[in-house]
Every structure is written in structure tokens, then in C-alpha cells.
Structure 1
């Protein structure tokens, strides 16, 4: 009840401030069209987004929002949105897109340019805001952001008398001591997301960034023929060959790794902020409640660089009600609404003020670590053919992890393939 009241107040605050007038992006009827809209987005298991939509609908009876759930996985989400765009369907007005899809959707004119003045862009965290642009123009608004963090068994590290590792070599030395404890006899050292899907692109990008490199430069040119890229891929490959990573981690997505850590099978685990509350559940579902903590990811010679995650909101170019769509995005990403949203779910918000809020820091103790990780995060390749680029990375990195090709061969093939892909950006 309290959250519903706050959400309603957030709507009122938004209407009083951000909706003082319409933004005339063009003279077309579609650009200034108003009325009921459809919001294609990720299914929210917390119920917070539906609650915020109900608050909007109560204030906007002539411009009500209907939620349509996109498929669960990122690949399925992109496929459904691309199909809608290729047929120029007006079924969706506001769409949720993964951060690195912005360039592709903007270049193909599937989403419309947005007026920065409508969205109080100065309040957003810099890194996700920059990722929302294509050729220096704003095409999406950061809704959720995120960066991988290192979950670790604080109880076991304390018992072994070791500090939280900051480098890859320290991870190995710490694990040698921790795994010698009777309490950790059945555990493995480390796991991330290593199955052949988007999570592998993320983990590879993090490994390269944590060695001081980048998958592509600011212009989209691949940088995989560098010592840093080799060091990053070798860390992942050697993790499996040395036994640092459990062999079953080659099948891990987010949830498989989360369950392994939650069951006490891992000392260290790379994952997103959403699993924190699940780890601390006191209903008997977690073996590690109260026994873990988080830190930034380790790197080659010091703290590493996480891959920037997150989802953005954009207006479909084929929407006939784009004025309402823009207003709804401005509402959903305004600071009052984000504050309400943060109270009801653990999704990382995109406005800096959320991370400084004392009450939210008490509710989510990991916020300072997450803020540091986001500030230092590296984006995935910003390419028009991002889907093709990610597929190349997944195919070659996965083959290297399985020992089917060498590190040098994987990097050489990716360098060649991404060079061809970048020519279309």
C-alpha cells in the first residue's frame, strides 16, 4: 500500500515537473500522437513495474499503458523486437532494448531520436547515458544499468585468514588456502557465465577489459590482436584447464552459477546485483545467507573492469503515439519513480542520486560496490551489426574454452570477423 502511494506521488511529481509541455520533434502525426500505448519489456517478477504502470494509468486515463512481456532470454528478446521492426509493426510503442543494441536500432531507424531536455539527462550516470547515444544523438534512455560484481564467501576467507583478492593470481592463491579448509572440501574456486550465449560475450569483454584492453575501440574497430586481449582469453581458458573453474561451469548462465554459489559450491562467483537478495534469503533456500559479501571484479594486475550491462527504453519509429511514449519513458526514468522502483526491487537504477540515498544503502548494502563497478565499467562493442559481433565472440571464445581451437586462433578469427562487421557501422 505504501509503495502504491509513493508511486502515485511519483507520477504527480513527474506530471508537475517533466510534463510541463510537449516536445515537438517533428510535425508528423505519429511523432505528436497521443493515446493508449503498449510497453514491450522484460517480465518483472517483483511486480514493481506493473505497480508503477498502474500509477501512471490512474493519472492518465486517456493514455493508459499495457505491458507486453518479452521472451526471457536476451537473444529471444532481440529476435522478437527485430521481427516487429522489420515488418514495421505498430504493435509496440515503448520498447526495452539491451544497451549495446542502441546503435543497431538507431542506425536502422527502428527507434526515434529523443529530445535530451525532456529527460533530465544530467541526473543519469555517465556510462549508461553515453551508451544510449548513436553518433552523439540520444536514441534511448537508461532504465536499468548494472555491472558484474565478485561474490565471495566472507566466512571462509576470514577462517583462512586471507584478504579479498584484487588480481587473478590472488584468486588462485586465496582458493588454495580456502579450499584446504574442511568446510570447503566440496567447493570449487570460481565461476562466471561461460555457456555459449550473450553472457559469454560479457565475461570475455570483462576479461579483456580487466587486462587493460578493449574488444573494440571508440570507433568500433576490433582490438583483439593485442597482449591484453590474449591475456584476457588466456585467463578464461586456463581457468578451465587448471581446474580453477569447475568443468560444469562451461554450461553456466546467470541462474546456474547463482544456484551453485547459493548451494555453497563456489568460493567466488561473478554475477549481477539481482542475486544478492536471493543469496541472503532466510527461508532456507540459501546455504550462504549472511556468509558472503561482494567486491569489484579482480583483474590482471589490480581491480578489474566489469562489462556495462543494463536495459534502455526507446520509442518505436512505427508507433502512432510517440508523444505519449516519450512522456511515459520520462516518467518511468524520472528520479521520483526510480526511487520508488528501487524500494520495490533490486534492479540497479540509472540515476546517481539513487546510489547516494542512505535508506537505499541500508536496504542494499552492495550499492557502493555496484556504483564503483558501474563507474569503471567498459561497454560492449557499439556496432550496428552487434548481434553478428556477439555471435562471433561466443562461437570463438566457447571453442577456445573447450580446447577445440587455440587462444591465438580464436583471437585471429574474431579480429578478422569483427573487422568485416565494423565496416557496416
Structure 2
């Protein structure tokens, strides 16, 4: 009975008002004219906005470039919403922000019939929903991939990449004993104390059958499965499987290490494929690497779902134009171009099977598998507090400040307190 009451308390505390973020009906999308797009700086987005403006001179979109870093971008969007400013019309949001923005009525509910959602990968669409309603539409997705050095594996007589963590460790032991592997470390992901650590840690925990927060909204970190996942991550850092400097790695630091030939295996997103295939003074892996799905404990693992969605600010003007712009920006044709120009992972399932695209982008089959099997980060209104707690506890365990067992027990208490308040 006590356990049942605890579950009910958490579920109740996670619920937002039933009408949170509700649109104002069809009238919300009947005004047309100039709008703004609030987004992080990215050349591809700048190019797409210019393309739209050339085709729609009467519905001009002004790009408002936000600071680098998703946390800074989110904060500016929240500040704009708290003042009920109409400065932002369309918001380019991390896919995990939907619950928070919808529950606080910062974004408008969108008409589902206005988008070809059935043609998109279901997991990507679900990240734009809150309480079964649509508040954002995906224009890009992403899934973690395992990049590996084909030349070094071949030199060691290894024909296929690992599908399990144990296999990865054995292959490292074999390859790193070769003279050609001097100065090469085994494995790295993103382990600095930021969002990337949440992503990487939850992938290890999920692969072991654990969950940070279950589907009913209850924290479940103090479990044997979660312990198995975190233990491996901690052990790998302690024994050097993960190099010491990787504790400072974000995506870019890991990318630099991989293309410089300093890593045998590297977990990163799809964007790395293009950059690792582009000649540069520091790139030594061109033609010497490939990708595979992330490993797990008994077979292929599970990625954390990435990507970005477009939503409409509740306080923006000309929402009819905003809706049209989102329809255009999230269309299959534009996503095909984004794949070509910036390696942005599309959300349309059909694009992953086009023979010409697969020929040009050999990583697409592995990426589709990664996205299809991905597990989203916890969907909660208090996500910023949740991810901060995960980062703090996991970082402490990896650096030896605490044990995995104590870190997960502490995280269980942290998350229970966050979700109850």
C-alpha cells in the first residue's frame, strides 16, 4: 500500500493541467505576414531561411540567431515566453523540450492533419507530443552511432565491428597490441558534465535493461539493471578503456580525437560521418573508418533519440505563416536537402531506403536502425532539473568521488524529490 501511494504521488506531481499549452483553435492560424525563427546558429538553417524568403516575399522570415549551446538557447526562449514577447514566432527546439514548453503554455498546439506524420518515423513524431497532443514537428532526428577504424580492425584480423560491450573490449585488447595502434585509445563518447553525459549514461543503463524514469513517470535508478550499466561505464574509465582526457569530451572534442586517429571506437552522432570524410590537415581517417549500431550487453544496444523540432510561440504573430513555414521546413524535400548539405538525419522513413541516398551516405542503414530502436530521454516538465541531477551523480561516479551504488541511490532520491515538487 505504501508503494502504491508513492507511485500515485509521483504520477500526480508529474501531471500538468489538462489544457496546458492548448491552442486557441483554428483562428490561431488565420493571420499571415512576417515572422521570426529563433534558432541556434547553423549555416544550413540560414540557407533554408534565405530559400523560403526568395519564394515567399510577402511572408518574410527573420532569423534570430541564439547563442551556442542548447541550454543557452532554451533559456532565451523561456525568457521571451515569460515576458509574453512576440519577438519569437517559430522556435527551433531540442526534441526533449516539448513537455516543458507545452505544459507552461509557451507553445501552441498544432493541427495534426496539417502534416504527413504517418510518413515520419514514429519515435520522432512522439517527441513532439505532450499529453497525446501535437506541439512540435520534427525537422531532424538523430541516433548514436559507433564509429570504428576499419584499417586497424583489418590489420588485427577482425572482420566485423562489435555488437556487445564485451566484444568491443576484446577487440580493443587485440588491436591496441599492434605497433600500428600506438597512441590509439579504445573508446570514447561524451563524458563532460553536460547533456552529452546524460545521453551516454542512459545508453549504458538502457542497454542493461534499466531505466532512469519508467513510462509511468517513476524514477527507477536504484535497480540492479541500472547498476550494471553504470558500473561498466565507471569501470571502463577506471581501467583506461575510456582514456582519461575523455572526461572533458563533448561532441567536438571527441570528433577531433577520432579524426586525428586517437580513438579505435567512438560514439557520436551522424554529423561526424561527413566531417570525418572531409580532407583536412588533421584528418588521418579518411577511407579508414565505418559505422555500426551501438553495442549492448547481449547484442546491439539502444541509442538515445536526438533531433530538433519546430514549434510556434504562443505569443508570436502571424501564426498562419508560421504554420506554413513549419510545413515547408519539415517537408520530405527539404529534409532530403538537409541530409545532403549538413548530414541532418531525416525523419521520413522512405529516405533511409532510397538507393541513391544509401550509396552517397553509407551510414544511413545503421542510422535508421539506431533511430528506430532509440529510447527517448525522460519526457517530463522538469527535464532541466532531471538531466542536471543525472549529470552530477554520474560524473561523480566516473571520477571516483562516489561509487556507482551510492550515485544511483542518490539519483533515485534526487529524481523523486524533483518530480514530487
Taking structure 1 as the reference length, the TM-score comes to 0.91
The answer on whether the counterparts of 1:273 and 1:370 sit within 8 Å (CA) in structure 2 is yes
1:89 has 2:112 as partner: no
Q: Gapped runs of 5+ residues in structure 1?
A: 1-23
Alignment partner of 2:95 out of 88, 93, 99: 99
The answer on whether the counterparts of 2:191 and 2:246 sit within 8 Å (CA) in structure 1 is yes
The equivalent residue for 1:61 is 57
What is the deviation of 1:170? 1.1
1:118 has 2:117 as partner: no
What is the deviation of 1:53? 2.0
The equivalent residue for 2:196 is 199
Determine helix, strand or coil for the equivalent of 1:419: helix
Determine helix, strand or coil for the equivalent of 2:218: coil
Give a deviation string over 1:220-249, Cα, whole Å, max 9, x none: 211112222111111111011111110000
1:229-240 equivalence runs, <5 A: 229-240=226-237
What is the deviation of 1:345? 1.9
For the aligned residue pairs, the C-alpha RMSD in angstroms reads 1.4
Taking structure 2 as the reference length, the TM-score comes to 0.92
The equivalent residue for 2:207 is 210
Distance 2:348 2:282 in 1: 32
1:287-306 equivalence runs, <5 A: 287-306=284-303
1:390 has 2:387 as partner: yes
1:132-171 equivalence runs, <5 A: 132-162=128-158, 163-171=160-168
The equivalent residue for 1:18 is none
Stretches of 4+ aligned residues off by more than 3 angstroms: none
Alignment partner of 2:185 out of 181, 188, 198: 188
The equivalent residue for 1:41 is 39
Distance 2:60 2:124 in 1: 28
Distance 1:86 1:347 in 2: 31
Q: How many residues align?
A: 398
Give a deviation string over 1:181-202, Cα, whole Å, max 9, x none: 1111111100000000000000
What is the deviation of 1:341? 2.3
The equivalent residue for 1:314 is 311
Determine helix, strand or coil for the equivalent of 1:41: strand
Q: Gapped runs of 5+ residues in structure 2?
A: 1-22
Distance 1:184 1:66 in 2: 50
Distance 2:95 2:336 in 1: 21
Determine helix, strand or coil for the equivalent of 1:389: helix
Greater shift in the superposed pair: 61-70 or 280-289: 280-289
1:3-18 equivalence runs, <5 A: none
What is the deviation of 1:326? 1.0
What is the deviation of 1:277? 1.1
What is the deviation of 1:313? 0.5
The answer on whether the counterparts of 2:140 and 2:335 sit within 8 Å (CA) in structure 1 is no
The answer on whether the counterparts of 1:208 and 1:232 sit within 8 Å (CA) in structure 2 is yes
Distance 2:404 2:337 in 1: 46
Distance 1:260 1:376 in 2: 27
Distance 2:183 2:287 in 1: 20
1:378 has 2:391 as partner: no
Determine helix, strand or coil for the equivalent of 1:166: coil
Alignment partner of 2:283 out of 277, 281, 286: 286
What is the deviation of 1:312? 0.7
Greater shift in the superposed pair: 105-114 or 160-169: 160-169
Distance 2:254 2:392 in 1: 21
Distance 2:82 2:196 in 1: 26
**CA separation of 1:407 and 1:283: change in aligned 2, threshold 3 A:** closer
Determine helix, strand or coil for the equivalent of 1:344: helix
